[in-house]
Amino acid sequence: MKKKIEPFEVIVSIFMILISLICIFPFIYVLAGSLNEGMDYMRGGIYFFPRKLSFDNYRMVFNDKRLLIGIKNTCLRTVIGTVTGTYFTALVAYGMSRKDLIFRKQIYWFNIFTMFFGGGMIPTYLVFSKLHLINSFLVYIIPSLYSVFNMIIFSNFYNEIPEEIHEAGAIDGASEWQIFYKLYLPSSGPVLATIALWIGVFHWNSFFDSMVYTSNSNLQTLQLFLVKLIKEASMAEGEAATKVPAQVVRTTSITTIRYAAIVINMLPVLFVFPFVQKYLSKGVIIGAVKG
C-alpha cells in the first residue's frame, strides 16, 4: 500500500468537490432568495446569502389556503401510503420468494409483463372511475400499494435469508403468515428502510395523480400547488409580466414567494436526508447482486 498522494488523485478530488457544489448550489440559491426581500431580489446578486433579510415571502405563501391543504394532503398520503405500500409489497414479495409457490414462474411473468406494457392514461382513468377512486383521497393510496420493481428487490432479499430460519419457524408450528410477520419482516431492516423511503419520496413528490384524478381543490397535494404557482409565474414572465397577481404586496415578488413555497416543499426531504441517505442506496445494491 503506497500512501503517496498522486497529482491525478488531487485533480479528481477537486473535480468531485466541484461537482458536489454544483449539485448543492441550486438549493442554497433558492433558500437565500426566499429569505430576501422580493423587490430587492430583482436587482440580482443574491446567490448564497440574503441581502435584505425578510420573512414576508413565507408570510405571503402561508396566506394561501391552498398551501395548507396541500401540506395536509401530502403529509397524510406520505404516511399512510408508505406504511400500507411497504407492508403490502413485502407480503406479496414473501409469497413470491417461496420456492414451493405453485405456478411461481407464471406468476412471476405475469408481474414482469406489467413493467413493460400498460393500457395508458384513459383506460386507467376509466378503471379508477369504476372503482370510485376519482376525487377520492384513496386514489393516492390504493393504486400505489404495490410495485413490481420493489417486489423483486424484496424477493431478492428474502432469497438471501437462510432457509434454516424458515424451517425453524415451521417446526415450531408457525404458519407462513407468522413466519413472515415474526421472522422475515423483523430481519429485513435495511431493505425495508430502503423501500419505505423510496415509496415515501414517491408520495411526497408526485403530482400527476393529483392533477389528473382529482378536481376537488380540497384534495390537492403540495406538489400540485407548487406546479400551479410555477406555471402561473413562468407564463406571466413570458408575457412580459402584464398581469401582476393582486396578492403581491409591495415588498414581495412572485419569484421570491415561489421560492418560499419551494423551500417549504423541500425542507422535509432536506432534514430527513442526512439521517437516511445510507439506506436509500441499499436496495439498489441488494438488487444489483442479482441483476
Partner 1 sequence: MEVRKGHRKRINYSVFIMAMLGVIFLVVFCYMPMLGIIIGFKDMDYAMNISRALGTSKFVGFQNFKAFLNDPDFKAIMTNTIGLNVLQLIISFPVPIIFALLLNELSFERLKKIVQSVTYFPYFISWVVFGGILIGLLSPEGGAVNQVLRSLHIIAEPIAFTSKPEYFWGIVIVSAIIKGLGWGAVIYIAAIAGIDPSLYDAARIDGAGRFQKTVYVTIPCITGTIVVMLLLAVSGLLSSNFDQIFVLQNPLNISKSEVLDTYIYKIGVAQRRYSFTTAVGLFKSIISLILISLGNFISNKLLGRGLY
Pick the stretch among 58-66, 95-103, 182-190, 242-250 that binds partner 1 (CB under 8 A): 95-103
Q: For residues 261 and 221, what is the distance between their CA atoms, to the nearest angstrom?
A: 13
Q: From the list 26, 65, 244, 290, which residue makes contact with partner 1 (rule: CB under 8 A)? A: 26
- The residue (of 16 and 79) whose beta carbon lies closer to partner 1 is 16
- The residue (of 116 and 162) whose beta carbon lies closer to partner 1 is 116
> Positive or negative, the Cα torsion across 242, 246, 247, 249?
positive
CB of 129 to partner 1, least distance (A): 7
Q: Which of 148, 178, 184, 147 is nearest to 164 (CA)?
A: 184
Residues in contact with partner 1, counted by CB under 8 A, come to a total of: 101
Q: Which three cell numbers stand for residue 198?
A: 423510496
Interactions with partner 1, residue window 109-168 (CB under 8 A): 110-112, 114, 116-127, 129-131, 143, 145-146, 148, 151
Interactions with partner 1, residue window 48-87 (CB under 8 A): none
Q: From the list 102, 242, 243, 246, which residue makes contact with partner 1 (rule: CB under 8 A)? A: 102
CB of 166 to partner 1, least distance (A): 11
- The residue (of 102 and 171) whose beta carbon lies closer to partner 1 is 102
- The residue (of 55 and 110) whose beta carbon lies closer to partner 1 is 110
CB of 87 to partner 1, least distance (A): 11
Q: From the list 60, 92, 195, 219, which residue makes contact with partner 1 (rule: CB under 8 A)? A: 92
Interactions with partner 1, residue window 217-276 (CB under 8 A): 223, 226-227, 229-231, 233-235, 237-238, 255, 258-259, 262, 265-266, 269, 273-274
CB of 264 to partner 1, least distance (A): 10
Cβ neighbours around 31 below 10 Å, total: 20
What would the x/- binding string for partner 1 be over residues 175 to 214, using CB under 8 A? xxx--x--------------------x--xxxxx--xx--
CB of 269 to partner 1, least distance (A): 6
CB of 41 to partner 1, least distance (A): 6
CB of 94 to partner 1, least distance (A): 6
DSSP the chain: ---PPPHHHHHHHHHHHHHHHHHHHHHHHHHHHHTB-HHHHTT---SSS-SSB--HHHHHHHH-HHHHHHHHHHHHHHHHHHHHHHHHHHHHHHHHH-TT-TTHHHHHHHHHHHHH----HHHHHHHHHHTT-TTSGGGGTGGGS--HHHHHHHHHHHHHS-HHHHHHHHHTT--HHHIIIIIITGGGHHHHHHHHHHHHHHHHH--HHHHHH---GGG--HHHHHHHHHHHHHHHHHTTT-S--TT--SS--HHHHHHHHHHHHHHHHHHHHHHHHHHHTHHHHHHHHH-
Q: From the list 29, 62, 137, 149, which residue makes contact with partner 1 (rule: CB under 8 A)? A: 29
Q: For residues 235 and 239, what is the distance between their CA atoms, to the nearest angstrom?
A: 6
Q: Which three cell numbers stand for residue 262?
A: 419551494
CB of 247 to partner 1, least distance (A): 18
